[in-house]
Amino acid sequence: MGDRLNGKVALISGSTRGIGRSMAEHFASEGARVIVAGRTVDRGEKVVGRIRDAGGEAEFRQLDIGDEASVRSVVESTVERYGALHTLVNNAAPTGAVAGSVKPMHEYTNEDWDGIVRDTLTGSVFWMTKYAWPHLAAAPGASILNISSGQSVAGFKGFSAYSAAKGAINSLTRTLAVEGGEDGIRANVLVVGRVVALRGDSGLHTGGGRLTRIGGPMDIAYAATWLSSDEAAFVTGSTITADGGFSINGDAASEAE
């Protein structure tokens, strides 16, 4: 067990699997008290069980990121349980809905577009941050970490709504950092590249004359831990990319298809 997040209460949305699960488990191993939040109860309880078995402290809260009342309830119950909120990680994203809506922008229905933007931007970042803000402002060393995607910085065929929402998160984070300066809240965005838990592939890939690799969830968890720790106290309004160099690879967009 480490102590880089010792004493902090962390709420991580979308933390029942993949990157979110790794962040929750690693945050707890570094001393944070973690609220594991996600839609699926059995997966969330398993994550909590692993954290507790390893000597960490965690509880599960069921979260529907597309339901404002659910978002507000999770934030409020976190503070009720632990008395504070120091770290908010906005990680949840509607991967299932996105996968079912891969098509050119002109073929999107209003319902397709509104649903993806609501869950990816409005629910995952706006509502979560809105209700967490006063509690973060009351906590020393508070921070917000928004998880974005390589699709926010490169063109990907068929993902217009998701790319637009993730790009908006990048921009919004800079505004949050400016506003947070008055309340002692740091805000940063972590742009995530191809990760094994999401893509199901692994190993080294070449392209554009550069060598890259598919990441693992812990590659993201390590970066998120540092950004949420007091070691990063001078870092705010930053866009940090964790993608093995994928976004600077000239063949990034073609490889993604």
Structural domain boundaries of the chain?
A: 9-194+216-241
CATH code of 9-194+216-241, in short, is: 3.40.50.720
pLDDT of residue 198: 45
For position 255, what pLDDT does the model report?
Answer: 43
Model pLDDT, residue 100: 57
Residue 108: active-site member: no
Dihedral sign, CA of 137, 59, 118, 101? positive
For residue 196, what pLDDT is reported? Answer: 64
Q: What is the pLDDT along the chain (257 residues), one digit of tens a residue?
A: 789 999 999 999 999 999 999 999 999 999 999 999 999 999 999 999 999 999 999 999 999 999 999 999 999 999 999 999 999 999 997 665 565 578 888 999 999 889 989 999 999 999 999 999 999 999 999 999 999 987 777 777 778 888 889 999 999 999 999 999 999 999 999 998 777 654 344 455 545 445 567 788 999 999 999 999 999 999 999 999 988 887 776 544 444 43
Which pLDDT score, from 0 to 100, does residue 244 have? 82
Q: Are 239 and 171 in contact (CB under 8 A)?
A: no
The overall pTM is greater than 0.85: yes
Q: Chain centroid to CA 180: how far?
A: 18
- From 82, 108, 162, 222, active-site residue: 162
